[in-house]
């Protein structure tokens, strides 16, 4: 009975089951350990990546913080070239050593400036009318002023023009311009003298400046940009409107629609190329082109700091924009037809719509997608109007680069008069350069004029601003008005474009 109660077979089965359960438990523990080890390795890699990213971001933060305080040029690249060229002049291909005495004599020519100031004396006849007893005096064509007596000594128009160009075109401070005049030409002028001379030239050119504003308002296509500018140590905004023929600049206190409407007019109905600033879209009658270069640069910068997964979206947008630029070039080179261009443009828009229909977890991608959804109707205007509308607003940025260099040299303007002179002279000089005219001769002729007058730098089709507007306003200021060609009727919108006011001007949907 005792042996039967032991039941060894059942006991064996129980032990076998317990052993099997133990083995299964050990297998589960082993798999769990492997999972934890894999998870630990993944976390270690993620930890190492995050540590490297933190190190990189700290380095960039320190570099950015030092850049605001360092004395070196902020445009320095920081690292030297790996294989720099040796300094100094290089020997020419025909250079040979001389081992004998020269057997001939050759000529060399040298051009030199003359450090000399000419003093020109004018004999001014002064008389009185025998009937009304009014005093009158003559004026020589080379004179720049009618002042006599204590103010009889004047600075010539060429010296004044040189000072203006050094300050407004080259960005030299007044003191540096005075130093160059003294050391280079023996002409002594004070900083205040140059400053007042610049303002006098600006007053003479103000009539042309007003005419340039009206020409900008009547232009069929305009590039526009703005940048910060200090006046009396207060932040102002320098606006620049650039067309193919003219440049108009003005320094205004704000950056809103009221300021830009004061320049172009609230009813501007041409093509407007800009950087996507929201204020510009309040021109509801205009057809807009958002600068492709700005978006490509933004996508490139965003992809440089994003994770590999997050970088896919900005890189895809960048590729689409670059494909659009390549399409434009192929059409201008007559490699594809206009119909083929528009068909390919529709495909690009469809790809972009699919990208924008997705949701993104990365904050930078969400901001970029939100901006692109707003800019979507205005990204490919240049492909619907090839050769007419530029893809970028580099035309305005070239003017801004000059002004940014000037701002870096002497910061801004101390007075409202100085800011007005800056805007007037920048507009006139840039417009003259656009038309390949001699700025020096233009300003010199302006200084020799008895009264302000319109200069011959206005576009031919927009030359004589409507007689009832500009001529009257100029005459009310006592200015001389020269005859200019009449305005031409400029069609602002091509027939192929959808009338403005629709939510999407260009869409393949």
- Give the rounded percent of residues in the chain with a pLDDT score beyond 70: 83
Per the DSSP assignment, residues forming a β-bridge with 231 are 234, 413
Reported as a pLDDT band with limits 50, 70 and 90, residue 267 is: very high
Reported as a pLDDT band with limits 50, 70 and 90, residue 483 is: very low
Q: What pLDDT was estimated at residue 475? A: 42
> Are 362 and 219 within one domain?
no
In angstroms, how far is CA 129 from the centroid of its own chain?
A: 57
Of 399, 406, 397, nearest to 170 by C-alpha is 406
Structure tokens at 116: 């000399």
Alpha-carbon distance of 84 to 355, in angstroms, equals 44
pLDDT digits over 428-445, tens only?
Answer: 999 999 999 999 999 998
Question: Looking at the predicted structure, is the pLDDT value of residue 506 above 50?
Answer: no
Reported as a pLDDT band with limits 50, 70 and 90, residue 77 is: low
Left if phi > 0, otherwise alpha if psi is -120 to 50, otherwise beta: which for 141?
Answer: alpha
Mean pLDDT of 347-376: 93
Does 285 map to a domain? yes
> Are 436 and 506 within one domain?
yes
Residue finishing a domain among 338, 360, 388? 388
> Are 247 and 333 within one domain?
no
**What's the residue count for the chain?**
509
Question: Looking at the predicted structure, is the pLDDT value of residue 226 above 80?
Answer: yes
Q: What pLDDT was estimated at residue 150? A: 66
Q: What pLDDT was estimated at residue 90? A: 73
Does 89 map to a domain? no
Question: Looking at the predicted structure, is the pLDDT value of residue 472 above 60?
Answer: no
Does 229 map to a domain? yes
Question: Looking at the predicted structure, is the pLDDT value of residue 69 above 60?
Answer: no
Q: What pLDDT was estimated at residue 75? A: 53
Structure tokens at 262: 């004061």
Residue finishing a domain among 361, 388, 415? 388
Does 255 map to a domain? yes
User: What is the number of domains present in the chain?
Assistant: 2
pLDDT digits over 390-422, tens only?
Answer: 999 889 999 999 898 888 888 788 889 999 999
Kind and range of the H or E element at 22?
Answer: helix 8-67
Q: What pLDDT was estimated at residue 316? A: 96
Average pLDDT score, the chain: 82
Does 371 map to a domain? yes
Question: Looking at the predicted structure, is the pLDDT value of residue 462 above 50?
Answer: no
Q: What pLDDT was estimated at residue 83? A: 79
Q: What pLDDT was estimated at residue 95? A: 67
Q: What pLDDT was estimated at residue 87? A: 77
> Are 262 and 411 within one domain?
yes
Does 227 map to a domain? yes
- This prediction's pTM: 0.69
170 contact partners, CB below 8 Å, separation of at least 6: none
Q: What pLDDT was estimated at residue 251? A: 94
DSSP string, 114-177: ------------EEE-TTT--EEE---TT-S----GGG-----HHHHHHHHHHHHTS---HHHH
Residue finishing a domain among 355, 373, 388? 388
> Are 276 and 326 within one domain?
no
Question: Looking at the predicted structure, is the pLDDT value of residue 236 above 80?
Answer: yes
108 contact partners, CB below 8 Å, separation of at least 6: none
> Are 427 and 339 within one domain?
no
Cα 167-422-162 angle, rounded to 5 deg: 30
Residue 353: how many CB atoms within 10 A of its CB? 14
Alpha-carbon distance of 472 to 207, in angstroms, equals 12
Reported as a pLDDT band with limits 50, 70 and 90, residue 6 is: low
pLDDT digits over 314-339, tens only?
Answer: 999 999 999 999 999 999 999 999 99
Q: What pLDDT was estimated at residue 218? A: 92
Reported as a pLDDT band with limits 50, 70 and 90, residue 138 is: confident
Q: What pLDDT was estimated at residue 60? A: 86
> Are 328 and 461 within one domain?
no
Structure tokens at 35: 């999972």
Q: What pLDDT was estimated at residue 4? A: 54
Question: Looking at the predicted structure, is the pLDDT value of residue 98 above 70?
Answer: no
Q: What pLDDT was estimated at residue 241? A: 95
Per the DSSP assignment, residues forming a β-bridge with 224 are 241
Reported as a pLDDT band with limits 50, 70 and 90, residue 294 is: very high
Does 135 map to a domain? no
Structure tokens at 218: 């009547």
Least confident among 27-41, 213-227, 340-354, 466-480: 466-480
Q: What pLDDT was estimated at residue 215? A: 93
**Cα-only R_g, the chain:** 36
Mean pLDDT of 350-361: 93
The maximal CA–CA distance of the chain, rounded, in angstroms, is: 165
> Are 354 and 477 within one domain?
no
Alpha-carbon distance of 209 to 220, in angstroms, equals 19
Alpha-carbon distance of 223 to 397, in angstroms, equals 9
Q: What pLDDT was estimated at residue 508? A: 33
162 contact partners, CB below 8 Å, separation of at least 6: 181, 440
Of 454, 496, 457, 456, nearest to 471 by C-alpha is 454
Reported as a pLDDT band with limits 50, 70 and 90, residue 151 is: low
Alpha-carbon distance of 313 to 365, in angstroms, equals 7
Does 92 map to a domain? no
> Are 377 and 409 within one domain?
no
Question: Looking at the predicted structure, is the pLDDT value of residue 8 above 50?
Answer: yes
Q: What pLDDT was estimated at residue 154? A: 75
Q: Higher-confidence residue: 83 or 29?
A: 29
> Are 331 and 321 within one domain?
yes
> Are 308 and 425 within one domain?
no
Q: What pLDDT was estimated at residue 463? A: 40
Question: Looking at the predicted structure, is the pLDDT value of residue 449 above 50?
Answer: yes
Alpha helices in 218-337 (DSSP H): 257-264, 292-305, 312-332
Q: Higher-confidence residue: 2 or 362?
A: 362
pLDDT digits over 168-200, tens only?
Answer: 988 899 999 999 998 888 888 888 999 999 999
Q: Higher-confidence residue: 45 or 5?
A: 45
Per the structure, the complete domain to which residue 459 belongs is given by 204-291+393-509
Q: Phi and psi at residue 196, in whole multiples of 5°? A: -70, -35
Task: Kindly report the CATH number assigned to the domain that includes residue 419.
Answer: 3.30.420
- Asked whether the beta carbons of 349 and 381 are under 8 A apart, the reply is no
C-alpha dihedral, 327 to 330 to 335 to 340, nearest 10°:
20
> Are 494 and 398 within one domain?
yes
- Give the rounded percent of residues in the chain with a pLDDT score beyond 90: 46
Alpha-carbon distance of 321 to 326, in angstroms, equals 9
pLDDT digits over 102-126, tens only?
Answer: 678 888 887 777 777 777 787 878 8
């Amino acid at each position: 009975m005792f042996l039967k109660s032991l039941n060894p077979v059942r006991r064996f089965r129980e032990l076998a089951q317990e052993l099997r359960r133990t083995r299964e438990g050990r297998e589960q523990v082993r798999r769990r350990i492997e999972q934890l080890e894999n998870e630990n390795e993944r976390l270690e890699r993620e930890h190492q990546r995050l540590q490297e990213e933190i190190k990189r971001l700290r380095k960039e933060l320190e570099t950015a913080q030092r850049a605001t305080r360092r004395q070196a040029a902020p445009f320095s690249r920081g690292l030297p070239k790996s294989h720099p060229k040796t300094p100094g002049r290089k020997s020419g291909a025909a250079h040979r050593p001389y081992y004998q005495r020269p057997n001939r004599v050759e000529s060399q020519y040298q051009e030199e400036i003359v450090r000399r100031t000419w003093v020109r004396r004018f004999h001014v006849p002064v008389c009185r009318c025998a009937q009304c007893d009014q005093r009158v005096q003559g004026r020589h064509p080379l004179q720049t002023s009618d002042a006599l007596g204590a103010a009889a000594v004047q600075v010539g128009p060429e010296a004044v023009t040189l000072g203006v160009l050094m300050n407004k075109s080259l960005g030299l401070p007044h003191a540096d311009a005075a130093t160059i005049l003294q050391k280079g030409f023996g002409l002594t002028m004070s900083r205040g003298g140059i400053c007042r001379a610049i303002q006098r030239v600006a007053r003479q050119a103000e009539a042309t400046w007003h005419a340039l504003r009206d020409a900008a308002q009547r232009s069929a296509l305009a590039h526009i940009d703005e940048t910060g500018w200090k006046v009396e140590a207060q932040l102002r905004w320098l606006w620049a409107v650039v067309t193919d023929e003219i440049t108009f600049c003005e320094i205004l206190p704000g950056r809103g629609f009221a300021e830009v409407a004061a320049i172009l007019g609230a009813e501007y109905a041409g093509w407007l190329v800009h950087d996507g600033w929201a204020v510009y879209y309040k021109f509801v009658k205009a057809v807009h082109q958002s600068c492709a270069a700005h978006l490509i640069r933004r996508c490139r910068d965003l992809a440089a700091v994003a994770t590999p997964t997050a970088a896919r979206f900005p890189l895809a947008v960048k590729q689409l924009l670059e494909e659009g630029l390549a399409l434009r070039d192929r059409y201008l080179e007559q490699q594809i037809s206009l119909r083929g261009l528009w068909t390919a443009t529709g495909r690009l828009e469809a790809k972009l719509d699919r990208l924008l229909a997705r949701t993104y977890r990365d904050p930078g991608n969400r901001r970029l997608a939100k901006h692109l959804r707003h800019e979507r109707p205005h990204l490919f205007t240049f492909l619907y109007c090839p050769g007419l509308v530029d893809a970028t607003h580099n035309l305005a940025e070239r003017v801004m680069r000059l002004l940014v260099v000037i701002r870096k040299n002497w910061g801004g303007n101390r007075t409202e008069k100085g800011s007005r002179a800056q805007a007037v002279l920048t507009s006139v000089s840039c417009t003259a350069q656009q038309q390949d005219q001699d700025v020096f001769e233009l300003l010199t002729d302006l200084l020799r004029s008895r009264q302000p007058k319109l200069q011959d730098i206005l576009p031919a089709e927009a030359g004589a601003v409507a007689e009832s507007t500009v001529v009257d306003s100029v005459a009310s200021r006592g200015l001389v008005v020269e005859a200019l060609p009449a305005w031409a009727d400029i069609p602002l919108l091509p027939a192929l474009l959808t009338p403005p006011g629709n939510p999407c001007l260009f869409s393949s949907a």
